[in-house]
Amino acid sequence: MAPASAWQEPPAPIPGADGVRVLVLSGYGLNCEAETAAGFRRVGARADIVHTGAVIERGAASLDGVHVLAFVGGFSFGDHIASGRVLANRLRFAMGDALARFVDDGGLVLGICNGFQTIAKLGLLPALDRAAGELGPQQISIVDNDRLGYRDAWVKMAIDPESPCVFTRGSSGAILEAPSRHGEGKIVASPEVRARCEAAHLVALRYVDASGAPTEAWPDNPNGSEGGWAGMCDATGRVFGVMPHPEAFLYPENHPDFTAWRAAGHVPAVGDGLGILANGVRAVLGTAHLR
């Protein structure tokens, strides 16, 4: 039988979503831009794929009229030095103030896998005590998996219903499934940062075992992140980073158990990952005005 999905509504454009503009970064070794844009477009948003170099060249002007900025997965600059480090440095020094203002003005940021690694190094997550108008210091990092090597497998994650994260809102504590594919996915932080994130429910997603309990054990937790941390947001809930790939589960057919679901006559209406993107669009529409 198919699992109880966090989002069961049929795949239809969200009313008003055609007024939501999503900027999906590409280039320099990123490789998930097509799936990410396709997911946002499936729920009715306007998603433009733009090379990161062009964004940097235009600077703050590249964010004009944008509601959601999506940092996608892949291997930016070959993960040289550290995953996401080179891309984060280029963005910080070229347009760090513009990125900070984008968030201050109500923009949403989604970072998936390499995108999560990048926004963590930019200081956009968890952004504790970040001053308005500027990027904060890096407070977490995402390092080598405990079991060294690249792992590609599906995982289950519990959604914290008390998290302010707009991308996971309305889940009622459901289990989210998505493929996880990375070699550097362990989230590390100081005891102080970790405690503050836990207290504020900034850890929106945790790897869970077959019983639904958060786990640090492989393979249910593919990297060994303490507390099962898999995805987190900032205090506003509008900046969200996740290591597994929601954009790779837009359709029920993406799931390895789809054939069994179909045979049993229990096929979910949508892939779990589509709900993440749809919630981001809904969050934009729920604000007082479009940027």
What stretches of 17-174 adopt beta strand conformation (E)?
21-26, 46-51, 68-71, 108-112, 140-144, 151-159
Given 67, 182, 245, 255, the catalytic residue: 245
Q: How far apart are CA 168 and CA 174, in angstroms?
A: 10
- Residue 192 annotated in active site: no
- Residue 201 annotated in active site: no
Q: Are strands 21-26 and 68-71 parallel, antiparallel or unpaired?
A: parallel
Given 32, 113, 165, 197, the catalytic residue: 113
Given 33, 177, 184, 247, the catalytic residue: 247
Phi-psi sector, 152: left (phi>0), alpha (psi -120 to 50), beta: beta
The DSSP call for residue 103 is: H
Q: Is the dihedral of CA 192, 127, 214, 220 positive or negative?
A: negative
- Residue 182 annotated in active site: no
Q: How far apart are CA 87 and CA 29, in angstroms?
A: 10
The DSSP call for residue 112 is: E
Strands across the sheet containing 46-51: 46-51, 21-26, 68-71, 108-112, 239-242, 229-233, 205-207, 151-159, 175-182
Determine the residue type at 87: L
- The token pair at 144 is 């080598």
Q: How far apart are CA 197 and CA 229, in angstroms?
A: 11
Active site residues: 113, 245, 247
